[in-house]
Structure formats: C-alpha cells, structure tokens
C-alpha cells in the first residue's frame, strides 16, 4: 500500500507546472542554448546538486481514497404488537437468531422468526357453523288416496321432498329424505324435521395466506413436523403449534397471537432499546441491525463512476491493516454532506466540486466484506477506502520531481554523467555529450511518479532529481 498521498486528478496539471516552474530558472540557460548546447560538461556540473535515480520499468496505479465509516448499517425498529408491561430486554450488541426472544412482555416471549411479511393477524383455525341438522324435511303438497294392505290402513297421502305425487297401496310413503312412514296418515318429513337451530354443529376451517406459509416455514425450520408447509393453517399445523407453545412455556392454544412474533430478514444484532423494563410495550422498544459489518461512504455525487456494484476496493482499518471489500449498493438519493467530512487525495475536500467553496452533494455507497473474520474484533470506526482509477503496466517511470520544464516548452530529464558513461554511448543527448537534457512525453501520474516516454529515454538511465 502506498504511504504517500497521490496528487488529485483535477489539480494535477497546476501542481506539476508549478513544480516545473521552480526549476525553469535553473535550466533556462540550457533551454535557451538548445538541448546539449554550449559550455563544457564541467561548467554544466558546477553548482548542480541533487540525487541520481534510475529510469525504471514498472506498473503505475492511480488510486483515489475517501473516508468511510465501519459499522453495522442503519438501525431498524422491531414492529412489536404485544401489549402489556416489558419484563425483559436484550443487551445491545447481542445476536438474536430464529426462535429466540427479542423481549418479554407480561413475562411472555416475543419470538424472532425470519421473513419479509409482517405479522399482521392472529394465525389459527377459524370456526364455522353447519346449516344442516340431521335428515331433510318435507311438506305435504299433493293429495291422493290409497288403500292400505297389510299392517294398518290409511287414507292419507303425502308428497315427499322428491318430485311427483306418491299414492300408497298399503302404507303411505312420506318424504324420501326421512324414514318411511309405517302407516296411517301422510308424512310431513323425516324424524329430524323441526330440529332447533341451536343444535347445529361448529367445525374448524383452515386459514389461508402467504403469511401462513411463511410461519409454517419457520416452524419447520425450528424442528417441528407433522404438517405440510403450504398456505393452509390446518389442524395439523395447530397441533405443531401446541408443541411449540409448550416448549416456550406458553398456553397451548394452537393459535399464534400477532403480538407473540416479530419478523426480520435473518439473524440480527440488537442495536439498542428505547424503553426500560417495567415500561409499557408501546412504540418501538427494540431496534436491530445486520450482524455483518459494512462500510458506508458518502461519495461525491459527481464522482461515483467507480462505485459500481461489484467493484473491488481496498479498505484501510483503524488498526492500519487493509482488507478487500466489494461495493454492494449505491444510493439513488443525493444529500448535502457535512462540510469538511470527506477528504480527497490532494488534501482538499473530496465533497467539493473543485476542492474549494461549498461541498457538493453526496450519495451513500455501501461496501461489504466476503470475510468478516478479516476485520478482526473491530466493530466500528473510521476507515479509508481506496480504489483504482487507472493503471499503466510495464511503463518507464521517474519521480515527478525529476521533471524539468524546458524553455522551448514541455518537460525534460537531466541525464547524469554517470548514466551516460555506463555504456560509452553518450545516451540521452544523441550528440556524444556526457551530460544534457532530453525531452520526454508524460503519461500517468501516480504514487509520486510519472510515466515518461521518448526516443532518447531508456530503462536504467540515470537522471538527476534537483534539490
């Protein structure tokens, strides 16, 4: 990891020109006479201090850094629907998993389950009333005569519940839905005719819905069986619920009260409580965060091209270690930042459009970690996020301070006598001189170095860095 600050991209030109201008006076005589012209090598060497460096071949990487905050993300309140007195609260920083309590109300647990739907109603069997009571009833609507033969005689006739008139030869026949009439007059229905409505039976009916399926999925994950995980709350579901309630120390009703369960996407970290034991369970007494640690960055809204989902970044932790992270999300709503809270690589304010004046709007960028263990025991704190803007591989590079502004324009490098005599070729001047200046083209600036190229520049050449 580079320890030195890198020049900001927008300020790069002015900074380099300024550095070069400071050296113009030192080389103006050379520039005026032309490259390698005039004077002896000894004259050129007089009064010229500095250090010698080699032109090296390497990979230059332009990185940008921005401040961030390590933590567990925003807090979310639990939608507690239980009513009563809070008798227990969890400690902040603890982790709650499926099936565990997140608080107790009237000494009864409010249990955490996993899901996206809120608990908006009680879950249980509904009761319905049967409208039929025993056999069917008929009414005499027709007439006819019959002569009974056999046991008993009668002259009565009846019209049963089935269509058509019935005249009996022997015993008359009554309503087909009731018992057969043995004899005598006509029948007005079966033996259950006229039964009071209060004697009708109650029977359970399954409850249906996606919230039922969500609950049953959790019940199954907790190890309770004997029912089918679907969108129907049946007698089998109620039986499993009774076993679950027994294990929780609750009355075995087979019905899940809406206030006894809260849902979250997964295991949660208790972030804090807004009530005390003994208070009424109203509002949002407990809030939670994700269990995973993340980094949140307030990035300048105009500089978020790097912040694409899946981008790999390097995060420097408060203890000095660097770990890899991945951009998980980028906010869609810009907000005015707190002035001076976000710093750029050039020592200015990254939130500002040009490092001066009012800071620009920012968006929240969330960075996640594939290996939570790499973060160690740190739970929160300020961090520095670094990301690669541009990279140039296998290029010639020298320290930025080695650049010299030439009188005729552009930049050059001062070739040292040592460098030109290594192979006896007078490398760098092309005219056999042992010392002089060669023009160069500049490329990427990164890490205090600059990419240089030109027909007279080669790897290993020694150049002078003026003091």
Percentages of the chain per state (helix, strand, coil), in multiples of 5: 15, 35, 50
**Is 3.10.20.30 the CATH classification of the domain at 65-73+292-388?**
no
For the chain, the average pLDDT equals 75
Phi and psi torsions of 199, nearest 5°: -85, 0
Q: What is the pLDDT, as a whole number, of residue 96?
A: 97
Q: Count CB-CB contacts under 10 A for residue 387.
A: 19
* Nearby residues of 351 by Cβ (< 8 Å), 6 or more positions away: 298, 300, 337, 339, 340, 341, 342, 359, 360, 362
Q: Using alpha carbons only, what angle is made at residue 428 by residues 16 and 13, rounded to the nearest 5 degrees?
A: 10
Q: What was the pLDDT predicted at 43? A: 41
Read off the pLDDT of residues 280-306 as tens digits, 9 standing for 90 and up.
998 899 999 999 999 999 988 887 878
The residue that leads in pLDDT, 325 or 33, is: 325
For CA atoms 151, 155, 160, 162, the dihedral sign is positive
358-403 pLDDT per residue, tens? 567 889 999 999 999 999 998 999 999 998 888 899 999 999 999 9
Model pLDDT, residue 158: 38
* CA-based torsion, 46, 47, 48, 52: positive or negative: positive
pLDDT band at 338 (very low <50, low <70, confident <90, very high): low
Minimum mean pLDDT among 125-129, 169-173, 264-268, 399-403: which range? Answer: 169-173
- The percent of residues above 70 in pLDDT, for the chain, comes to 65
Angstrom distance (rounded) from CA 289 to CA 402: 52
Give 377-442 as a DSSP string. Answer: T--SEEEEEEEEEEEEEEEEEEEGGG-EE-TTSSEEEEEPHHHHHSSSS-TTTSSS-SSEEEEEEE
- pLDDT bucket at 332, cuts 50 / 70 / 90: confident
Between the alpha carbon of residue 220 and those of residues 56, 223, 268, the distances in Å are 65, 5, 20
Cβ proximity of 219 and 129 under 8 Å: no
Taking only the tens place, the pLDDT of each residue in 413-458 is 998 765 444 444 333 333 333 368 899 999 999 889 999 999 999 9
Distance CA 196, CA 105 (A): 45
What separation in angstroms does the CA of 432 have from each of 37, 404, 420, 456?
11, 21, 9, 13
Q: Would you identify the CATH topology of the domain 76-128+204-290?
A: Muramoyl-pentapeptide Carboxypeptidase; domain 1 (1.10.101)
Threshold 0.75, pTM exceeds? no
Q: Residue 31: is its pLDDT beyond 70? A: no
Give me 459's structure tokens: 């790897």
Report the C-alpha gap between 262 and 382 in whole angstroms.
33
Record the tokens describing residue 17, joined without a space.
């020109």
| Pairing relationship of beta strands 76-77 and 286-290 according to DSSP bridges | antiparallel
pLDDT digits (tens, 9 = 90+) for 41-98: 444 444 456 788 999 999 998 888 899 999 999 999 998 999 999 999 999 999 999 9
| Residue 357 pLDDT exceeds 60 | no
Domain ranges of the chain: 12-62+391-465, 65-73+292-388, 76-128+204-290
Burial label for 423, CB within 10 Å (0-12, 13-18, 19+), is exposed
Give Rg (Cα) of the chain. Answer: 45
What angle (nearest 5°) sits at the alpha carbon of residue 308, between those of residues 304 and 312?
A: 110
Indicate the pairing of strand 312-316 with strand 294-300. unpaired
As a whole number of angstroms, the distance between CA 336 and CA 327 comes to 22
Full DSSP string of 19-49: HHHHHHHHHHHHHHH-TT-SS-HHHHHTT--
- Rounded CA gap, 108 and 85, in Å? 10
Which residues are within 8 A (CB) of 11 and not within 5 positions of it... i.e. 6 or more apart? 346, 348, 355
pLDDT tens-digit readout, 154-189: 343 334 333 333 333 333 333 333 334 333 334 344
Specify the DSSP class assigned to residue 170. Answer: S
Helices 210-221 and 235-248: crossing angle in degrees, nearest 10, is 50
């Amino acid at each position: 990891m580079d320890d030195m600050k890198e020049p900001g991209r927008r300020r790069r030109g002015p900074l380099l020109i300024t550095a070069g201008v400071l050296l113009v006076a030192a080389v103006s005589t050379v520039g005026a006479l032309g490259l390698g012209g005039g004077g002896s090598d000894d004259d050129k060497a007089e009064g010229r201090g500095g250090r010698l460096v080699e032109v090296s071949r390497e990979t230059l990487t332009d990185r940008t850094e921005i401040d961030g905050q390590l933590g567990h993300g925003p807090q979310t309140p639990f939608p507690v629907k239980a009513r009563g007195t809070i008798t227990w609260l969890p400690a902040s920083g603890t982790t709650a998993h499926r099936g565990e309590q997140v608080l107790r109300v009237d000494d009864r647990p409010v249990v955490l389950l996993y899901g996206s739907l809120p608990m908006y109603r009680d879950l249980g069997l509904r009761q319905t009333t049967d409208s039929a009571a025993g056999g069917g009833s008929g009414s005499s609507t027709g007439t006819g005569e019959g002569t009974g033969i056999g046991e008993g005689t009668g002259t009565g006739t009846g019209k049963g519940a089935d269509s058509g008139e019935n005249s009996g030869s022997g015993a008359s026949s009554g309503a087909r839905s009731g018992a057969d009439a043995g004899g005598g007059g006509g029948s007005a229905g079966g033996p259950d005719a006229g039964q009071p409505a209060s004697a009708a039976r109650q029977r359970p009916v399954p409850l249906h819905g996606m919230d039922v399926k969500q609950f049953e999925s959790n019940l199954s994950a907790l190890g309770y069986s004997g029912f089918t995980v679907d969108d129907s709350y049946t007698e089998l579901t109620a039986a499993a619920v009774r076993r679950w309630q027994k294990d929780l120390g609750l009355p075995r009703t087979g019905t899940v009260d809406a206030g006894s369960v809260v849902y979250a996407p997964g295991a949660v970290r208790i972030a804090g409580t807004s009530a005390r034991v003994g208070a009424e369970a109203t509002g949002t007494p407990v809030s939670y965060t994700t269990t995973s640690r993340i980094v949140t960055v307030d990035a300048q809204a105009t500089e978020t091209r790097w912040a694409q989902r899946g981008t790999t970044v390097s995060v420097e932790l408060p203890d000095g270690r660097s770990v890899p992270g991945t951009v998980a999300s980028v906010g869609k709503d810009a907000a005015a930042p707190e002035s001076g809270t976000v710093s750029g690589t050039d020592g200015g304010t990254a939130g500002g459009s040009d490092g001066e004046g009012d800071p620009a709007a920012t968006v929240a960028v969330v960075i996640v970690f594939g290996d939570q263990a790499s973060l160690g025991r740190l739970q929160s704190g300020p961090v520095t996020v670094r990301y690669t803007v541009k990279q140039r591989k296998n290029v010639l590079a020298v320290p930025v301070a080695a650049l010299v502004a030439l009188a005729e324009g552009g930049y050059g490098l001062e070739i040292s006598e040592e460098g030109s005599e290594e192979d006896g070729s007078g490398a760098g001047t092309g005219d056999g001189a042992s010392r002089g200046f060669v023009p160069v083209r500049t490329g990427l600036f990164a890490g205090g170095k600059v990419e240089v190229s030109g027909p007279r520049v080669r790897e290993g050449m020694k150049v002078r860095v003026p003091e």
